[in-house]
Amino acid sequence: MPDEIQEEPSEPNSVAIACLSTELTSRVCAAPSGDLTMSAMGVSTLCLLYLTLAIPALDAGDRRAQRSRRQSTYAKDGMFELSIIHLNDFHARFEQTSWSSGNCPKGQEDSCVGGIARLYTAIDELVARRPNAIFLNAGDNFQGTLWYTLFKWNLTLEFMNLLPHDAMTLGNHEFDDKLAGVIPFIKGLNCPVVVANIDDSLEPRFQGLYNKSVVIERDGRKIGIVGYIIKTVNELSSTEKLMFLDEVEAVRSESARLKSQGVDIIIGLSHAGYGTDLVVAAEVPDIDVIVGGHSHTLLYTGTPPGGDISEGPYPTVVTQASGKMVPVVQAYAFSKYLGNLTVWFDQEGEPITFNDLVTCTPFLNTIDTLELQGRDLLQVLEKSVSNPFNSTASGGFNGKGFLQYAGLNVVYNLTRPIGERVVEVEVLCAECRVPQYQPLNLDTWYRIVTNSYLAGGGDGYKVFEQNSRNHNIDLFQLSLIHWNDFHARFEQTGWAGGSCPANDNSSCVGGVARVATAIKDLKARYPHSVFLNAGDVFQGTLWYTLFRWNATVKFMNMLPHDAMTLGNHEFDNGLEGIIPFMEQANFPIVVANIDDSEEPDFQGLYNKSIIIEREGRKIGIVGYLLNSTHTIASTENLRFLGEVETVTREVSVLKEQGADIIIALSHCGLQADREVASVVPGLDIIVGGHSHTLLYNGTAPRNDTTGGTYPIVVHQDDGRQVLIVQAGANSKYLGHLLVYFDSGGEVVSWSGNPILMDQSIQPDPEIVAELEPLRQEVEQLGSMPIGSTRVRLSRPCSLGECNLGNMITDAMVEEVCSDTSSTRAKNAWTYAAIAMMNSGGIRAEISELNDGGKNIKTNFTKDSMILFNDLATAQPFQNTVDTLELEGHVLLQVIELSAARPFSSRSYLISDPEELTRDARVFSGYGFLQYSVRVCVCVCVCVCVCACVCVCVCVCVRPCIFLPIYSYVALYIFETGIHVTYNISLPAGSRVQELSILCDECDIPEYQPLNLTKWYRIAMASFLAEGGDDFGIIPQNRRNHNMGRVDLDIFSEYIKKNSPIIQGVDGRIQMIQAGHSGEGSNFTTGTRLKKKYYKTILFVRRKSTLKSLLSISKWMNKVKPKTEI
């Protein structure tokens, strides 16, 4: 496994041994406990060893020459032993760094790691002592620190030439200074550069500087090294006229050529990323090992040092269709780790097939772990050489029952009496920073892995059976692949789930084709994987708007689903929109808590649960969705039952049918899943959805918001552990969890993390081809320009005001403001002065004006185009904008309900001027309403240019405390809406502290106290008007309900009219907490605690006139504060 490059090893605190008679399987290597640090696979495949040894350094040339002269003394039992030392993504870390690869803090040098000098020592030690060693570099040596900024390729070349490279491939960052920056580096290197998938036909300067591959020899064996780089490197760096070919095809072609020339061991040296390497390993028949880079992936067997996160075992072993096993390795980045892999090959270098393994180890033993005390272990070793001599053997014993070891160094003296032949025993430590051998301690308990035959006392080794403790029979490994809330993200998206920027797709993620590749990669590594879908595959983009269930079922059927549950959005188009999907799905759909007794057309289309088998184990899968689904979707006469009761009942049924592993497939959200996990007996795992929660271990990519660890572990009252997983939304992540079960079906251990669907994962070509004709239709409509924006129109809108919500509700008011019908009162300036929008109706940002989600741009030099696809993604539901009337006291209840939801599983960090953070008292934001308002109470002095651009200094009144990142500003001619202040620390139902309503039947619009008995006209989405998001109080108490036009048409017209958009925030929704000014629990209609402050406001209005600005100023001066501080 990768050796951590650190100055001093830590003291060991325990040890582990692998003790074998004839076999040790890969399951031990994959065990997540961290205790089994030595492993092998079969008798004639490979062992993973790692040592750090002190040897004087030679110069690079002498060291390479010494390695090439090594003879067959290193081969044993006819096997060729090859040691691969490897480095990737050095990124100019010439000096040691902090643990997180930043600058090494002064005074804390002892905790720093890496650096070129430390690498030099470690490589020297390994090269000098390891048999047939080769040293490979997987690229990206350039870029990353001030060292490179100052010295560029010159310094990098000097120090790379001090290391004994056998070969190097190029990384994308080698091209950061174009060809002028990489050509001198390649020319000056004293080792070959290998890249097989470059087409340099248009760049004669680059020709002849590198090879597709190189052949080196060790101990008479020819070893071919084929290089390749990610084929999208031209999108990541300045490669000028170089072109990059498909990785699989290029490596396949070059490997076949090497094979035809008598090269029997072929290594891929890759800078394409872990995901691509897994595909190459699976699909290139002649490849034997892949040494990778680019994705900065730490592969590690056991628990990595210092809390680092491993993304898989070292090596990750990919099994090809032929049965051949290909190890894949990578050693993170920044010189923090040095990879060190030892592989044994047979004499011919031929692949070892499954048939070879069965012939070698035919007994179908399980792999068990147990503990023996040192004195008992010594008895085992003595027993190994205790059989008396006979004529068929020599050397003092006949060899029957002789044990093979890993993790032990044993010296025997066969001339001594039986029982006294062990002269010296050293044991390899397990829980230690640098593995090393230590003398056997007779009183220490050692953890041992062996086969069940020996563990049961076979071959006379009764000490295993009689004196061991903590004997664990072979654990069952379940590989669980899952996703949730796909929401019609057929194509890759921007970081926040909106449209992928047309001018830069390098930071785009997801898409069904990329997910398909990732699933294939995982199934290649874990052939018995289970793949589950937690619902909400419908709705969210123009793809669904155009093709509905048809495209969805087509592409879902192309993925190897074992089961799916339904989400609430599957019902967005009523039963007629979901029944055809369920009828044509080629995988089972499971939902246990639906009562379809009044909907006969829905009956027989799904199951409450199913049972599948993996390696002889029965796995039950029970589905459930939110019991309030009928309040947020069009479920007609279906009824939804309590989650806990129905899941408990169905788990009992599955247990009776022989299932010993139970997985719940949920579309209820993390909070509900926690409750189910805590009380349902017999449940093992919950795969969740609905709340769009990313569970992740460590820091998520680009600091993505997480809602907890992966998995969340819930402990039931009887001590059982239930694991909960969820993987964000919008195909951005694919969840992968490895769980180990004992023979009784109880969870023993686990490992895993969601996988980011980024550019390192190549889209599946078959799915890309199927998408293309549909994509053309989507693109034709979606690429239609609507308008432009100069600001980022952002979400989420679920915890307060957002500027995208402001713009949508303002568009609603402008729509009804243009109503000239006779229904409008004689003195009314608009038909409705209030508009409401539920936060769940806003599904994505518009125009992601940011650097791949990493840095929000604050200085825009030009307008950003808004396309129709952006609008359809932000508002995909095709609601109509309806008007209705509610009485004042009902309106108050609606606004209270908006902030009444209990705290949810989604995590947000919100700071106010005193750095307050939300806790469990805060509402969830689910169903939170956005209100239309476009004025604040200010007295302004303005200086205008051409009556269209004005700078105003205003004296304004505001509440004392507000949360600025959820408070927004927007000033328009049509001033309409609501001002509301919530005290979020108070109980639900009494959080509204102030509520003022913009008048409609008035000469000059102004905010007035809410009148509890007055009827107010309101514009809102039809979803809300019909009681969606559990706002049933609206249809129950409304009058004069009128259906309007489709929201997307209204929104499009609004943007066309008002582009470029400069929508800001104005604090129409304010939030305070107890203990601050404004504290109190009594609702007031219009009396406000206020204070003065000064603010400069820039008005940019293409059709503004001086007259309209003066009208606004006149109106502002008329409004006087009712209470002053």
Dump the DSSP string for 596-622.
Answer: -TT-GGGTTS-BSEEEEEETTEEEEEE
> Which residues, in sequence order, are CB contacts of 997 under 8 Å at separation 6+?
833, 834, 891, 978, 1007, 1008, 1009, 1010, 1011, 1016
Dist. CA 372–CA 381, nearest whole Å: 12
pLDDT of 234 reads: 87
Could you tell me the pLDDT band of residue 858, with boundaries at 50, 70 and 90?
A: very low
**pLDDT of the residue at 1:** 54
For residue 714, the model assigns a pLDDT of 93
**Least confident stretch, 60-64, 69-73, 220-224, 583-587:** 69-73
Instruction: Check pLDDT > 50 for residue 92.
Output: yes
What would the mean pLDDT of 101-120 be, rounded to a whole number? 89
pLDDT at 937 over 60: no
pLDDT given for residue 56 in this prediction: 27
Per residue in 1044-1063, pLDDT tens?
777 877 888 888 888 888 77
pLDDT at 432: 56
With beta carbons less than 8 A apart as the criterion, state whether 1003 and 837 touch. no
The residue written with tokens 């980011």 in the block is 756
The most confident of the ranges 392-396, 630-634, 856-860 is 630-634
Q: Which of 309-313, 510-514, 847-851, 858-862 has the largest mean confidence?
A: 510-514
| Mean pLDDT of the 753-765 span | 93
How far from 371 is each of 368, 431, 465, CA to CA, in Å?
A: 10, 15, 11
Predicted confidence (pLDDT) at residue 472 exceeds the cutoff of 70 = no
* Mean pLDDT, all residues of the chain: 77
Residue 501 pLDDT > 60 = yes
d(CA 645, CA 812): 43
Mean pLDDT is lowest, of 461-470, 578-587, 1006-1015, 1083-1092, for 1083-1092
Please give the average per-residue pLDDT across 226-231, as a whole number: 97
Length of the chain: 1125
Higher confidence at residue 1036 or residue 429?
A: 1036
CA angle 726, 728, 731 (to 5 degrees): 115
**Confidence (pLDDT) at 999:** 82
791: tokens are: 């600001």
Q: How confident is the model at residue 399 (pLDDT cuts 50, 70, 90)?
A: low
Question: What does each C-alpha distance from 996 to 112, 979, 999, 1000, 1112 come to in angstroms?
Answer: 59, 5, 9, 13, 19
The listed range with the strongest mean pLDDT (712-716, 1077-1081, 1100-1104, 1117-1121) is: 712-716
CATH topology assigned to domain 44-360: Purple Acid Phosphatase; chain A, domain 2 (3.60.21)
Out of 12-21, 358-367, 606-615, 839-848, which region has the weakest mean confidence (pLDDT)? 12-21
Contact 1099/1064 with Cβ under 8 angstroms? no
Instruction: Determine the Cα–Cα distance for residues 5 and 100; give it in Å rounded to an integer.
Output: 13
| C-beta separation of 79 from 346 below 8 A | yes
Task: Give the model's confidence band at 381: pLDDT under 50 very low, under 70 low, under 90 confident, else very high.
Answer: very high
- Could you give the CA distance from residue 193 to residue 1025 in angstroms, rounded to a whole number? 66
Which residues in the chain are classed under CATH 3.90.780.10? 1-40+368-474, 785-1118
The mean pLDDT value for 798-818 works out to 77
Give the distance, in angstroms, between the CA of residue 758 and the centroid of all CA atoms in the same chain: 9
Most confident among 299-308, 454-463, 756-765 (mean pLDDT): 756-765
pLDDT at 917 over 60: no
Q: What is the mean pLDDT of residues 720-745?
A: 93
14-23, 746-755, 922-931, 1047-1056: segment of lowest average pLDDT:
14-23
Over its C-alpha atoms, the chain yields an Rg (Å, rounded) of: 34
Tokens of 907: 């995590």
Backbone angles phi, psi at 545, to 5 degrees: -55, -40
Which CATH code of 3.40.50.300, 3.20.20.100, 3.20.20.60, 3.90.780.10 fits the domain covering 1-40+368-474?
Answer: 3.90.780.10
Nearest in space to 457 (alpha carbons), one of 410, 541, 401: 401
Lowest mean pLDDT, pick from 377-391, 735-749, 882-896: 377-391
Would you state the pLDDT for residue 247?
95
Residue 602 — very low, low, confident or very high, per pLDDT cuts 50/70/90?
A: very high
Mean pLDDT of 470-499: 86
Tell me what pLDDT residue 583 has. 96
Q: Which amino acid is at 525?
A: R
* pLDDT computed for residue 1022 by the predictor: 77
Closest among 172, 138, 174, 521 to 293, alpha carbons compared: 138
Topology of domain 785-1118, CATH: 5'-nucleotidase;  domain 2 (3.90.780)
pLDDT over 90 at 883, yes or no: no
- Give me the mean pLDDT over the 10-30 stretch: 27
Which amino acid, 425? V
Residue 1038, pLDDT > 80, answer yes
Inform me whether the pLDDT recorded for 34 exceeds 80.
no
**For position 744, what pLDDT does the model report?**
85
Q: What is the distance of C-alpha 730 from the center of its chain?
A: 11
Range scoring the smallest mean pLDDT among 116-120, 499-503, 889-893: 499-503
| Percentage of the chain lying above the pLDDT 70 cut | 74
Residues 113-141 have a mean pLDDT of: 92
Residues 565 and 599 sit within 8 Å (Cβ to Cβ):
no
| Cα–Cα dist 851/507, whole Å | 8
In CATH terms, the fold of domain 482-773 is Purple Acid Phosphatase; chain A, domain 2 (3.60.21)
pLDDT score for 869: 76
Strand pairing category for 978-983 and 992-998: antiparallel
- Pair 620, 741: CB distance under 8 Å: no
- More confident position, 63 or 974: 63
Strand locations in 988-1079 (E): 992-998, 1007-1009, 1015-1021, 1039-1042, 1069-1072
At 859, the pLDDT band (50, 70, 90 cuts) reads very low
Across residues 927-953, what is the average pLDDT? Answer: 48
* Report for 98-112, 630-644, 905-919: range of highest mean pLDDT: 630-644
Q: Are the C-beta atoms of residues 260 and 232 closer than 8 Å to each other?
A: no
* Highest mean predicted confidence (pLDDT) among 413-422, 604-613, 951-960: 604-613
- Share above pLDDT 90 across residues of the chain, in percent, rounded to a whole number: 41
User: Which amino acid belongs to residue 951?
Assistant: V
Mean pLDDT over residues 743-769, rounded? 91
Q: What is the mean pLDDT of residues 467-488?
A: 86
Residues of the chain with CATH 3.60.21.10: 44-360, 482-773
The dihedral of CA 315, 316, 317, 318: what is its sign?
Answer: negative
Question: What's the pTM value of the predicted model, to 2 decimals?
Answer: 0.49
Measured distance CA(514)–CA(276) in Å, rounded: 11
The whole-angstrom separation of Cα 2 and Cα 430 is 15
| Interatomic CA distance for residues 511 and 731, integer angstroms | 6
Encoded amino acid at 969, one letter: V
State how far the Cα of 1094 lies from the Cα of 1089, in Å rounded to an integer: 17
**196 vs 414, residue with greater confidence:** 196
φ/ψ of 185, rounded to 5, equals: -65, -50
What whole-number distance in Å separates Cα of residue 92 and Cα of residue 849? 31
- pLDDT for 392 equals 40
Q: Which of 342, 354, 228, 360 is nearest to 281 (CA)?
A: 228
**Torsion (CA) 841, 844, 847, 852 in degrees, nearest 10:** 170
| pLDDT for residue 109 | 84
Amino acid letter, residue 680? V
Give the whole-angstrom CA distance, residue 19 versus residue 28. 12
Greatest alpha-carbon span in the chain: 119
**Confidence label for 719 from pLDDT (cuts 50, 70 and 90):** confident
Least confident span in 360-369, 745-754, 1090-1099: 1090-1099
Tell the residue number behind the tokens 């012939």, with chain if given.
359
Whether 102 shows a pLDDT value over 50: the answer reads yes
Supply the angle between the helices 765-782 and 542-556 in degrees, to the nearest 10: 160
| 972-1012 pLDDT per residue, tens | 222 347 777 778 778 777 888 888 888 877 877 788 888 99
Mean pLDDT value of segment 178-190: 95
DSSP letter, residue 1048: H
